[in-house]
Amino acid sequence: MSLTNSIETYILAKDGNRPHLMHRAFAADAELVMNIKTDEITFPSTVKGLDGISATLVSEFAQRYENIYTFCLGTPPGNVVAFRCGWLVCMSDKNTGAVRIGFGDYQWVCRDGSGVISKLVITIEEMKTLPSELSNSIFQWANMLPYPWCSNDVLLRSTPNIPAVQETIRFLGRCQ
């Protein structure tokens, strides 16, 4: 398995609430580090081990959010043991229906050439909460984007006419 496959498996597991897939992407003793630069969402700062990572990023996440689309920005990594890319997420809160849109940075590390992730550092730069009335427009847009790999150019060209989303995409483009 390559790092690209592990990243794609993680996205599928997280977005689709499939914790049983996480063992294909992460080492049993993997480490998760979270750098959160917003008050709009919370996570533990570190999690050790596959079970804890699966619970935090998949099972517990899916208890609160649905309609999750996570995009890795740029092109998939080649044959490497470390990779960094930006990400964008669109999702809705199960309790309120509010739409969440956020972005940040993934740093993936493999212990060796196996492609299995031994460490993931997730930085959350921004997370906005938008009214549920915008959900149809935002999720139609998200559903049309290339998934899970998407370029900044495609994001910029396709952004819906929603000021908060346009602002997020512009800011994301400056951070990459």
Cβ contacts of residue 11 below 8 Å, gap of 6+? 70, 72, 148
Q: CA dist 54 to 4, 10, 69, Å? A: 19, 9, 18
Domain ranges of the chain: 3-175
pLDDT beyond 90 at 119: yes
* Domain 3-175 fold: Nuclear Transport Factor 2; Chain: A, (3.10.450)
Residue 116 pLDDT greater than 70, yes or no = yes
The pLDDT of residue 176: 56
Indicate the DSSP class of residue 132: G
Partners of residue 71 on adjacent β-strands: 88
Instruction: Write out pLDDT tens, residues 126-175.
Output: 999 999 999 999 999 999 999 999 998 899 899 999 999 998 888 877 66
| pLDDT band (50, 70, 90) for residue 8 | very high
pTM to 2 decimal places: 0.94
Helices (H), 16-131: 22-25, 50-54, 60-64
pLDDT tens-digit series, residues 89-107: 999 999 999 999 999 999 9
Q: What share of the chain is helix, strand, coil (3-state, %, to 5)?
A: 40, 35, 25
Look at residue 152 in the predicted model and tell me its pLDDT.
Answer: 87
Buried b (16+ CB within 10 A) or exposed e, 10-42: bbbbbbeeebebbeebbbeebbbebebeeeebe
pLDDT for the residue numbered 175:
60
